Structure 1
Amino acid sequence: MHDVIAQGGLPFRATRFWFSLANEPPENCKKNENGVPVDPILAQAIPSPSEALVTSWELRDPLGESSHTIFEHAVRQYHSRVLVRATGQCFLFCRHCFRRSLLPSERSFMDSKAIKALAAYLAVHQEVREVLISGGDPLTAPDASLASLFEAVRSVPRPILIRLCTRTPVVLPQRLTSDLIALLSKMRPLQMVLHINHPKELSQEFMEKAELLLRAGIPLHSQTVLLRGINDAASVLIELFSALNRAGIHPYYLFQGDLAAGTAHFRVPLSKGLALYENLRKELSGLELPRYAVDAPGGGGKIYLPEGIAERRADLWILRAPDGSLHEYPEEG
């Protein structure tokens, strides 16, 4: 594990396994004019000087989660779902992370008080059908801590779907032990959403763990962030989504980049993203094609693209959220 705590901003952390997926060593890798590694694996892990550049559009909390926080670690933005940020820790701190400004203050796993508060909240709010357990990455926690959280959800006397959001099977597949897989299977209904951005991430070790999870009755979905210089080519995304589909992993979302501070060098212009997605719609089957979406800046929720576009005004896109509210998203060069 490579683990360095930087002064300010998002810390650097990555696994040796992650770096083994790259075509060159991180110490002397080739970089572009922005100081970002050219290799798609290294580009997602190694800090660059570009992260210090913050545009006028960028936000500390681009999804507006703070305005939807119901108690410590818990966010409720949608009627039927509660998001639990169980920890701010990750095995890999992705340089494009939209929670990059929030994670350092939430490093430890949620304590028993917060877990009890979650169970009490779910017991009262019968309309909640899903609990999204995210972070950071919840699988950085020990099995016992995860079991306490899962059991708190299962203590509520109605079926609630647990949606486990993680990058661990890709970044550190060795963490998926037989004991952990058995725990996840025991806590069904439970589905796993995996963060996967590039075909290079589909290692043999990951594919073997994915097969074990599927055999244990755990459905797998993927979400991908559209990233400049990493996967913003139709050929790369076609290879990724078709390979995921063949492996039994549902390509769920392709996300337009959030307006997180210090991530402008990763964002693909929305006009290019729309053209790219139109190409994907021609080339991929209905099973292979994810939904293209963007989180409305400041907390308007997910907006599907292109149907959520209300209009374009020069270098500004006007997006319509499901509740009818309008939100601005810049067309960046």
Structure 2
Amino acid sequence: MTLHPQATLRAQQMLPRNHRADKWADVPDAQWYDWKWQLKNRINTVEELEEVLTLTESERAGASAQGIFRLDITPYFASLMDRDDPTCPVRRQVIPTHHELESFTSMMEDSLAEDKHSPVPGLVHRYPDRVLMLVTTQCASYCRYCTRSRIVGDPTETFNPAEYRAQLDYLRKSPQVRDVLLSGGDPLTLAPKVLAGLLSELRAIEHIEIIRIGTRVPVFMPMRVTQELCDVLSAHHPLWMNIHVNHPKEITPEVADACDRLTRAGVPLGNQSVLLRGVNDHPVIMQKLLRELVKIRVRPYYIYQCDLVHGAGHLRTTVAKGLEIMESLRGHTSGYSVPTYVVDAPGGGGKIPVAPNYVLAQSADKLILRNFEGYIAAYSEPTDYTGPDMPVPAEWERSEPGQSGIWGLMQGERISIQPEGFNATHQRPGAVQHRLNSREDKWAAYGVGAGENVTDTAPDGMVEEPQVVIGD
């Protein structure tokens, strides 16, 4: 497929096409651009690394340590690393150092509690209407901050047909699920027939509306994005894809080509970055990255705070640094270039957006706002607004019991969301019943004295549901 002329022009401003480390200078193009050759020739030992890089003592210690997370780097991606500069942002993402052996505060193996939210192996059902479907434990290369390093990387342990069947059976029986995200590992490392088969099975489930793929293959190994792959993907629309680029240096002519092929196949592209110390934790670097992504038609989607995962402590930044970077984006670049900064909450709380505060004060009829320059304005609210008055088709409403959260409180579904053990904690020893509690004939209509779970109708007609206890 011919690259769009404007995309070609932009690609010329990036790293040179066909850029290679000396180790692979004489490899024929037919092999270099064969994604299977790239997989077969990944470097994964200290000796192979030293053919490409001048290793530091820290890198040599990390790469030779026993029990570290898997080391594999495609020749293509290894060629982007600076041979003599250990601060190279590409190098820092994939080369282990001795710091991976160090513990840090709150370090966890499964920091997102994915295993606790798995009804069947490889399926994570945390949010009401969508699931994460892990389909492989293999990646083209391995990021040193991988949140799933506990399960990813062992070529002898991956998902089998029986586990795929269990995942699909669960989805068929879960009509509330409308969105499935394929991840792993990296789904684009699967054999083409296996990937096509999974997509076909998912597309045959009537209530699944959207299929998404999370992948770093177009960045680690852009030659994998063949016309054959694009044809498979386009046959299963609506299908979306998020790639993973952390630094402008990773956006090469080959990556631009791969993204061009995907968008021409009708696949909308987003990008997920992880905020990493010494890689992209500078406002100017992040601005450059996001602008370059938009130029190749990739919409910045998320910036993740680095997870509390084993081995990644030396790559973490403070959330304050992330907020500083977000402050440098909103208003300083186009909205298309501004992603959402999220902390994936430890323990399985899911993604929580974190942003600078633009609302300074609020009253019944006014909102005080500030912009990126510090300009402060008063915005008048309508005083006659009482809420929406249009009917909503019942079939549009989708809910999962117990997961309506804060929105549910605002809708009057219940009066509180309580931590586990809240009532027991506040039940003081020796407490006696107030005299009014016995006068249920007088106070019951107001929900007073009816006990913990009030179900009587209050004067305004609202029925108060039992409280939700977090942890139940």
Could you tell me the TM-score, scaled by structure 2's length? 0.62
Partner of 1:20: 79
Partner of 1:70: 119
What is the 5 A alignment of 1:24-173?
Answer: 24-25=82-83, 29-30=84-85, 37-104=86-153, 108-173=157-222
Paired with 1:199 and 1:223, the residues of 2 have a C-alpha distance of 13
Paired with 1:197 and 1:107, the residues of 2 have a C-alpha distance of 29
Paired with 1:120 and 1:137, the residues of 2 have a C-alpha distance of 22
Paired with 2:199 and 2:114, the residues of 1 have a C-alpha distance of 22
User: Mind listing any 5+ residue stretches in structure 1 that lack a counterpart?
Assistant: 31-36, 309-320, 328-333
> Which has more radius of gyration?
2
Q: CA 1:74–1:204 in structure 2 vs 1: closer, same or farther (change >3 Å)?
A: same
Paired with 2:73 and 2:235, the residues of 1 have a C-alpha distance of 30
Q: 2:353 aligns with which of 299, 304, 314?
A: 304
Deviation at 1:236, TM superposition (A): 0.8
Partner of 2:44: 3
Deviation at 1:284, TM superposition (A): 1.8
Paired with 1:13 and 1:104, the residues of 2 have a C-alpha distance of 9
Query: 2:251 aligned with 1:202, yes or no?
Result: yes
Paired with 2:418 and 2:91, the residues of 1 have a C-alpha distance of 37
Paired with 2:243 and 2:210, the residues of 1 have a C-alpha distance of 16
Paired with 2:130 and 2:207, the residues of 1 have a C-alpha distance of 14
Residues 118 and 152 in structure 1, CA contact (< 8 A), matched pair in contact too: no
Helix, strand or coil at the partner of 1:12: coil
Helix, strand or coil at the partner of 2:138: coil
Paired with 2:196 and 2:244, the residues of 1 have a C-alpha distance of 22
Deviation at 1:282, TM superposition (A): 3.3
Paired with 2:160 and 2:348, the residues of 1 have a C-alpha distance of 27
Deviation at 1:323, TM superposition (A): 3.9
Helix, strand or coil at the partner of 1:51: helix
Q: CA 1:262–1:141 in structure 2 vs 1: closer, same or farther (change >3 Å)?
A: same
Partner of 1:174: 223
- Letter matched to residue 228 of structure 1: R
Paired with 1:158 and 1:322, the residues of 2 have a C-alpha distance of 20
Deviation at 1:104, TM superposition (A): 4.1
Deviation at 1:160, TM superposition (A): 2.5
Q: CA 1:164–1:108 in structure 2 vs 1: closer, same or farther (change >3 Å)?
A: farther
Residues 9 and 100 in structure 1, CA contact (< 8 A), matched pair in contact too: no
Partner of 1:220: 269
Question: Structure 1 residue runs of 4+, over 2 Å off?
Answer: 3-7, 104-110, 157-160, 321-327
Q: CA 1:181–1:158 in structure 2 vs 1: closer, same or farther (change >3 Å)?
A: same
Query: 2:281 aligned with 1:232, yes or no?
Result: yes
Residues 202 and 208 in structure 2, CA contact (< 8 A), matched pair in contact too: no
- Letter matched to residue 124 of structure 2: V
- Letter matched to residue 268 of structure 2: P
Residues 85 and 135 in structure 1, CA contact (< 8 A), matched pair in contact too: yes
Q: Point out the structure with the larger strand share.
A: 1
Residues 87 and 106 in structure 1, CA contact (< 8 A), matched pair in contact too: no
Paired with 1:305 and 1:242, the residues of 2 have a C-alpha distance of 21
Deviation at 1:326, TM superposition (A): 11
Partner of 2:331: 282
Residues 272 and 304 in structure 2, CA contact (< 8 A), matched pair in contact too: yes
Paired with 2:69 and 2:404, the residues of 1 have a C-alpha distance of 32
Paired with 1:230 and 1:65, the residues of 2 have a C-alpha distance of 27
- Letter matched to residue 17 of structure 1: Y
Partner of 1:258: 307
Helix, strand or coil at the partner of 1:13: coil
- Letter matched to residue 9 of structure 1: I
Residues 109 and 141 in structure 1, CA contact (< 8 A), matched pair in contact too: no
Deviation at 1:155, TM superposition (A): 2.1
Residues 193 and 222 in structure 1, CA contact (< 8 A), matched pair in contact too: yes
Deviation at 1:322, TM superposition (A): 8.9
Q: CA 1:21–1:285 in structure 2 vs 1: closer, same or farther (change >3 Å)?
A: same
Deviations 1:208-229, CA, capped at 9 Å, x for gaps: 1101110110110000000001
Residues 197 and 231 in structure 1, CA contact (< 8 A), matched pair in contact too: yes
- Letter matched to residue 20 of structure 1: S
Residues 115 and 152 in structure 1, CA contact (< 8 A), matched pair in contact too: no
Paired with 2:281 and 2:418, the residues of 1 have a C-alpha distance of 27
Taking only the aligned residue pairs, the percentage that are identical comes to 37
- Letter matched to residue 76 of structure 2: F
Deviation at 1:84, TM superposition (A): 1.0
Aligned pair count reads: 305
- Letter matched to residue 337 of structure 2: E
Paired with 1:271 and 1:323, the residues of 2 have a C-alpha distance of 27
Deviation at 1:306, TM superposition (A): 2.7
Partner of 2:460: none
Paired with 1:307 and 1:99, the residues of 2 have a C-alpha distance of 29
Paired with 1:294 and 1:92, the residues of 2 have a C-alpha distance of 24
